[in-house]
Amino acid sequence: MSGPPATGSGAPAAITSPAVQPVPAQTIEQLPANIPTLEPDGRNWAIFVVRFQEAMVVTRRWQFFNGTKRRPVPVDPQNPTPDEDEAMEKWDYDDQVARYLLSQRLPDSVAVRLVPLTTAESRWSRVTDEFSAKSVFAQSDR
């Protein structure tokens, strides 16, 4: 067994470990194939909502849809600290990713109507209101 490498002075050189790089937070940019695209008439709402919610819970994004993850508010809104700025920027990005994930499985006509809504929570609320009603209608129309 060999020891640490020797230095020119005869003393063993310090063992250094390679720089540890931070691991980026795991993110999901594409939804799994088992999450169906929501039908414009809402006939697959029941399975869509189950699969979509499960995926968002697993990826820790459901809080953006149900409103429990609120945007941070600085103590002094006119003079946020660098940490507060960073927290707000992170929240904005995470909410934007959540909105994007939702839009991947919506009909184009619905996605376009949601553009003015600026949070995942407001978009999810609108989709839920619209398609819960359509789903009930589709079930009673059979």
pLDDT band at 32 (very low <50, low <70, confident <90, very high): confident
Residue 117 has pLDDT above 70, yes or no: yes
Count of the separate structural domains present in the chain: 1
In a domain, 132, yes or no: yes
- Supply the range of the domain harboring residue 126: 30-71+92-142
Residue 4 structure tokens:
């640490």
Residue 139 structure tokens:
């079930």
Residue 59 structure tokens:
């990826």
In a domain, 87, yes or no: no
In a domain, 17, yes or no: no
Residue 108 has pLDDT above 50, yes or no: yes
Specify the pLDDT at position 89.
97
Residue 12 has pLDDT above 60, yes or no: no
Residue 15 structure tokens:
């063992």
What digits encode the pLDDT tens for the residues 50-100?
Answer: 999 999 999 999 999 999 999 999 999 999 999 999 999 999 999 999 999
- Report which of 15, 38, 5 is spatially closest to residue 109, judged by C-alpha positions: 38
Q: How is the chain split among helix, strand and coil, in percent rounded to 5? A: 50, 0, 50
Beta-bridge partners for 12: 6
